[in-house]
Amino acid sequence: MPPILLAVDKIYPKGLVWFRRDLRVDDNAALWQALRTCREVLCVFVFDKPLLDPLPRIDRRVEFIRESLVALDAELRALGGGLIVRHAVAEEDIPELAHTLDVQAVFANRDYEPEAMARDARVFGALANAGITFVTAKDQAVFERDELLTKVGQPYTVFTPYKRAWLAKVDAFYLKAYPSRGHADALIAPPARHDAPVPALAALGFAPTNLSTLEIPTGAQGGAALFEDFFDRIDRYDEARNYPAVRGPSYLGVHLRFGTVSIRGLASVAHQLALQGNAGAATWLSELIWRDFYFQVLVHNPQVAQGKSFRPEYDRIIWHHGKHADGLFAAWCEGRTGYPLIDAAMAQINQSGYMHNRLRMVVASFLCKDLGLDWRRGEAYFATHLNDFELSSNNGGWQWASSSGCDAQPYFRIFNPVTQSERFDPEGKFIRRYLPQLAGLSNKVIHAPWTASPVELAAAGLTLGEHYPQPVVDHAEARERTLQRYGVVRGPKAKAAD
Asked if pLDDT for residue 9 goes beyond 80, the answer is no
Mean pLDDT, rounded, for 347-358: 98
Please provide the CATH number assigned to the domain covering 8-139: 3.40.50.620
> What is the pLDDT at residue 8?
58
pLDDT at 326: 98
Rounded to 5 degrees, φ, ψ at 304 are: -65, -25
Q: Distance (Å, rounded) from C-alpha 138 to C-alpha 406?
A: 24
For this structure, is 290 an active site residue? yes
Nearest-5° angle of CA 341, CA 343, CA 344?
Answer: 65
Does residue 398 carry a catalytic annotation? yes
pLDDT value of residue 407: 83
User: Which pLDDT tens digit goes with each residue over 368-397?
Assistant: 999 999 999 999 999 999 999 999 999 999
pLDDT bin (cut points 50, 70, 90) of residue 483 is very high
Report the pLDDT value the prediction gives residue 443, as an integer from 0 to 100: 98
Kindly name the residue from 166, 284, 398, 400 that is annotated as catalytic: 398
> Per-residue confidence at 490, pLDDT binned at 50, 70, 90?
low
% of the chain exceeding 70 in pLDDT? 96
Catalytic residue among 166, 284, 290, 400: 290
pLDDT higher than 90, residue 498: no
Is residue 319 flagged as an active site residue? Answer: yes
How buried is 142 (Cβ within 10 angstroms: 0-12 exposed, 13-18 middle, 19+ buried)?
buried
Say which of 357, 443, 450, 456 is annotated catalytic: 357
| CATH topology for the 141-177+220-300 domain | 1.25.40
Q: What is the pLDDT of residue 489?
A: 87
Give the other-Cβ count within 10 Å of 480's Cβ. 12
Question: Domain segments of the chain: what residues?
Answer: 8-139, 141-177+220-300, 312-490
**Confidence category of residue 287, pLDDT binned at 50, 70, 90:** very high
Residue 4 CB neighbour total at 10 angstroms: 9
Q: What is the mean pLDDT of residues 305-316?
A: 95
> CA 183 to CA 260: how far, in whole Å?
19
pLDDT at 281: 98
96-149 residue pLDDT tens: 999 999 999 999 999 999 999 999 999 999 999 999 999 999 999 999 999 999
Share of the chain above pLDDT 90, in %: 94
What is the SS3 assignment for the chain? Answer: CCCCCCCCCCCEEEEEEEECCCCCCCCCHHHHHHHHHEEEEEEEEEEEHHHHCCCCCCCHHHHHHHHHHHHHHHHHHHCCCCCEEEEECHHHHHHHHHHHCCCCEEEEECCCCHHHHHHHHHHHHHHHHCCCEEEEECCCCCCCCCCCCCCCCCCCCCHHHHHHHHHHHCCHHHHCCCCHHHHHHHECCCCHHHCCCCCCCHHHCCCCCCCCCCCCCCHHHHHHHHHHHHHCCHHHHHHHCCCCCCCCCCCCHHHHHHCCCCHHHHHHHHHHHHHCCCHHHHHHHHHHHHHHHHHHHHHHCHHHHHCCCCCHHHHHCCCCCCHHHHHHHHHHHHCCCCCHHHHHHHHHHHHHCCCCHHHHHHHHHHHHHHCCCCHHHHHHHHHHHCCCCCHHHHHHHHHHHHCCCCCCCCCCCCCCHHHHHHHHCCCCHHHHHHCHHHCCCCCCCCCCHHHCCHHHHHHCCCCECCCECCCCCCHHHHHHHHHHHCHHHHCCCCCCCC
Mean of the per-residue pLDDT values of the chain: 95
Lowest mean per-residue pLDDT among 27-31, 219-223, 375-379, 402-406: 402-406
Is it the case that residue 1 has pLDDT exceeding 60? no
Query: How many C-beta atoms lie closer than 10 Å to residue 315's C-beta?
Result: 11
For the CA atoms of 294, 300, 306, 312, the dihedral, rounded to the nearest 10 degrees, stands at -90
User: 10 pLDDT exceeds 90?
Assistant: no
Query: pLDDT grade, residue 492 (50/70/90)?
Result: very low
d(CA 119, CA 115): 6
Characterize the bridge pairing of strands 38-48 and 105-109.
unpaired
Q: Which among 3, 29, 26, 9 has a CA at the least distance from the CA of 17?
A: 29
Nearest by Cα to 176 from 32, 52, 302, 41: 32
| Contacts (Cβ under 8 Å, ≥6 apart) of 465 | none
CATH number assigned to the domain covering 312-490 = 1.10.579.10
Per-residue pLDDT averaged across 316-340, rounded? 97
pLDDT(38) > 50: yes
Residue 375 bears catalytic tag: yes
- pLDDT value, residue 258: 98
Query: Is 357 an active-site residue?
Result: yes
pLDDT band for position 4 (cuts 50, 70, 90): very low
Catalytic residue among 96, 147, 319, 456: 319
- Is pLDDT of 364 > 60? yes
Q: How far apart are CA 64 and CA 217, in angstroms?
A: 9
User: What would the mean pLDDT of 220-231 be, rounded to a whole number?
Assistant: 98
pLDDT band at 408 (very low <50, low <70, confident <90, very high): confident
pLDDT at 496 over 80: no
Looking at 375, 395, 416, 422, which residue is catalytic? 375
